[in-house]
Amino acid sequence: MSATIESAVPAVGVRVKALREAMGLSLRDLAERSGVSAPMLSQVERGETSPTLAVAARIAAGLELSLSQLLRLDESGQVSVVRVRDRRRGGGSGGHRYEILTPPLPGQRAELSRHTLAPGASTGGPSDPPMHEPGARETALVEAGPVVLVVDDQRHELKTGDCVTFDADLPHHFENTGKEDAALLAVVSAGLRRS
């Protein structure tokens, strides 16, 4: 085994967990998709064991990656393009629709999404993504407004072109208070501050 592969395999756990969570998969979900048991996946994610290349290949397949992508053996200045037709779409609820604009790359520390809110709609419904991890920060640019950002029970009125940054691990949601559809771009960066 080459030194590159040997050094990449032990570090794979952090990437497996980050990508699994970014895809909204539980350990059980990934176990079903990959054929690797949930206890083994948990040990890999915690760095308690290094997977064999065969197991790493099955985990990669479960994450819809090649083995070299999972192990980052092919990251030599690559450019990842997500075409409009390939955006990951979320259902949202109650007039909220969203799309993830960034690719699901292992270990990625930021995600860009676009949210559309019908009049009177808000984010944070039961079909929306879960609350962000501790230490996450969010920056949102209002493309079409007005919208109100509610963070930890404080309301912030925003208009088209306004940009806001806040601690995304606090309870928060956006509300469309206008008579037309509202849209915003949101970048969530993980772990930029200690909680």
CATH code of 48's domain: 1.10.260.40
* Positive or negative torsion for Cα 158, 164, 166, 171: positive
**Phi, psi dihedrals of residue 15, rounded to the nearest 5°:** -70, -40
For residues 57 and 63, give the distance between their C-alpha atoms in angstroms, rounded to a whole number. 10
What share of the chain has pLDDT > 90, as a percent?
A: 41
Clarify whether residues 128 and 176 are in a common domain.
yes
Do 90 and 185 lie in a common domain? yes
Residue at 78 is within a domain: no
- Split at pLDDT 50, 70, 90, the class of 84 is confident
Which domain covers residue 29, as residue numbers? 3-70
Distance (Å) of CA 70 to CA 51, 79, 88, 103, 126: 12, 16, 20, 14, 31
Verify that 65 and 123 share a domain, yes or no: no
Residue 152 sits in the same domain as residue 185: yes
Both 89 and 36 in one domain: the answer is no
Residue 154 forms beta bridges with which residues? 151
Residues 151 and 88 in one domain: yes
Residue type at 111? E
- The average pLDDT across 43-64 equals 90
Please, are residues 119 and 29 in contact by the beta-carbon 8 Å criterion? no
- Say yes or no: 99 and 57 in one domain: no
What pTM was computed for the model? 0.58
29 and 92 in a single domain? The answer is no
Is 65 a member of any domain?
Answer: yes
Q: Is the pLDDT of residue 8 over 60?
A: no
CA distance 191 to 134: 7
- On whether both 45 and 88 belong to a single domain, the answer is no
Ranges of H-type helices in the chain? 3-8, 12-22, 27-34, 38-45, 53-62, 67-70
**Same domain, yes or no, for 66 and 89?**
no
- 18 is written with which tokens? 């980050």
Q: How far apart are CA 29 and CA 71, in angstroms?
A: 21
pLDDT at 65 over 50: yes
Task: Identify the pLDDT of residue 128.
Answer: 59
Same-domain pairing of 30 and 95? no
- Residue 33 maps to a domain: yes
User: Of residues 79 and 101, which shows the higher confidence score?
Assistant: 101
From 12, 37, 70, give the residue that closes a domain.
Answer: 70
Write down the H helix ranges in 63-117.
67-70
| Number of domains comprising the chain | 2
CATH number of the domain at 98, please.
2.60.120.10
Whole-number average pLDDT of the chain? 83
**Cα–Cα–Cα angle for 171, 189, 137, nearest 5°?**
35
DSSP 31-57: HHHHS--HHHHHHHHTTSSPPPHHHHH
Judged against a pLDDT cut of 80, whether residue 106 lies above it is answered with: no
Indicate whether 6 pLDDT > 50: no
